[in-house]
Amino acid sequence: MIALLALGSAGAYELYDDDWSWQSEPIVQPVWLDAASFPAATGTTAAIEQAAWDGLDAWNGVGNLALALDTTQSGPEAGTIRLHWDADTADGAVIATAAGWGYGGTMISCEVFYWSANDWGAIDWATIEDPWQTDIAEVTTHEVGHCLGFDHSTDWGAVMRPAARGWRGIDTDDEDGLVAMYPPCTDADGDGFACDDCDDADPTVRPGAVEACNGQDDDCDGAVDETATTTASFGSSAQLSATRTAMSWLTLFDVDHDTALLSFRQSLDLPASEWVSFAVVDTTADTARVEVAIVPAGTGPVQSPFLGVPLVAGHRYAIGVGVAGEARYGYASGAGAPADGLVPLGARWESYAPPRTTSDAVHGAHQPELELVLADGDCSTAPDPTGGPTDGSTPTDGGTDPTGGSSGPSTGGDGCGGGCGSSAWWWALLPLGLVRSRRR
């Protein structure tokens, strides 16, 4: 359960957790807005996008955040924070709600609902700052604040107070809370990377550097010396399960030597495009890495994003996918034979789309059709993948500093704003809708 903690003796802000984070880095996917979901009477698409951007941008320039807005869903991934109007009626005086996947101080995905009505009647959404209407910008700032880790503030001037104010922007109390969660980053070694630099004392270590065979993570992807890899396959020639809805199918493995999981593929049959979560859960340490992507309809192996998760000898892991909607899963009878130091124990499935495995129970002697790409652990005999030096002395161009800001709503592409994740998932309804005070 998420604890509500008041942090900072001088502040009235409250945070869900003092080490709240989006995995280990700031938000990297843009915030996605479905402007078309709003009724036509709300305003033009451009006006809705601008209002949402104004609300989102209120958090930029504070701490280490640089949030970006995406108004399309054209890529393989959508934003880790999603904003949309909803035709349902909210309880009481609630006008909007933020709900997210999170666990143990880690937020992974968040969804903001702008409700059509509540128990007081229809909600009059507006794209302008007007105390007599419900301003999309003000509400966006407040609800995205919940996604970033805020609970409600007791400072009545803060945007995070539990009732709408009627004006835009954040105040000092909001700024103090954001800095407590996302402190500013500096680029101490001058390599062009700050918050996502895993060694800010060494300019040759940074995202995009050449991974050398030297016992360290040169490119800051979470894996050490992954210049040599091996692939382990389980459950080949699998059959498909019956259709399942909101289900996770994973495999439990015992690991007998240190390695790293770079990525994996699992066999699925998707009748329609679906949100798929790719999870690596360390059931021994009760931590995990989870990534989410929109996967198009089809049958066959579904590829995870790059993971770079260290696998520790003696630990037990659950590796696999969860699908938010309908899917059939490829599997074979039996638990499968060991491969590359991984001993498969069989399948674990549960009625939660994002995997939140908290026990080692194996529900069936089946093996999901799974292919794991692992760091070999002996890069000394591997050919240099760059064709150049392997001592890390000539890093590749790291590109634009991803901590740079964004000047307005974008129409897609990569934004810098807020998040990946490192913990097992469960659905946590952030308590917390924004309400509008009754007027006479």
Is 330 inside a domain boundary?
yes
If asked whether residues 241 and 291 sit together in one domain, one would say yes
Is 126 inside a domain boundary?
yes
Cα 317 to Cα 107, 149, 283, 293, 348: the distances in Å are 21, 28, 6, 21, 11
If asked whether residues 119 and 262 sit together in one domain, one would say no
If asked whether residues 291 and 333 sit together in one domain, one would say yes
If asked whether residues 248 and 148 sit together in one domain, one would say no
Is 195 inside a domain boundary?
no
Give residue 291's pLDDT: 78
Give residue 346's pLDDT: 85
If asked whether residues 430 and 309 sit together in one domain, one would say no
pLDDT digits (tens, 9 = 90+) for 16-67: 765 566 655 556 667 889 999 999 999 999 999 999 999 999 999 887 778 8
If asked whether residues 49 and 157 sit together in one domain, one would say yes
- Indicate the angle between helix axes 136-148 and 172-181, nearest 10 degrees: 30
Give residue 230's pLDDT: 84
Q: Is the pLDDT of residue 70 over 90?
A: no
pLDDT digits (tens, 9 = 90+) for 274-310: 878 888 888 887 777 777 777 889 999 999 988 878 8
If asked whether residues 44 and 129 sit together in one domain, one would say yes
In which domain, by residue range, is 125 found? 31-185+410-435
Instruction: Give mean pLDDT, residues 253-258.
Output: 89
Give residue 79's pLDDT: 56
If asked whether residues 431 and 293 sit together in one domain, one would say no
Q: The domain that contains 169 carries what CATH number?
A: 3.40.390.10
Q: Is the pLDDT of residue 438 over 60?
A: no
Can you say how many angstroms the Cα of residue 301 is from the centroid of all Cα atoms in its chain? Answer: 22
**Residue that the structure tokens 């005070």 belong to:** 437
The DSSP H or E segment spanning 381 is none
Q: Is the pLDDT of residue 383 over 80?
A: no
Is 66 inside a domain boundary?
yes
Highest mean pLDDT, choosing among 104-113, 190-199, 227-236, 258-267: 258-267
Residue pair 82/112 in contact (Cβ under 8 Å)? The answer is yes
Partners of 266 in the β-ladder: 302, 370
User: Domain ends where: 362, 378, 394?
Assistant: 378
Say how far apart CA 344 and CA 336 lie, in whole Å. 6
How many structural domains is the chain composed of?
Answer: 2
Provide the 10 A C-beta neighbour count for residue 40: 8
Is 401 inside a domain boundary?
no
Q: What is the DSSP letter of 201?
A: T
Say how far apart CA 193 and CA 220 lie, in whole Å. 11
pTM given for the model? 0.63
Is 44 inside a domain boundary?
yes
Segment among 49-63, 119-133, 399-413 with least mean pLDDT: 399-413
Is 414 inside a domain boundary?
yes
Q: The domain that contains 287 carries what CATH number?
A: 2.60.120
Segment among 114-118, 185-189, 236-240, 352-356 with least mean pLDDT: 352-356
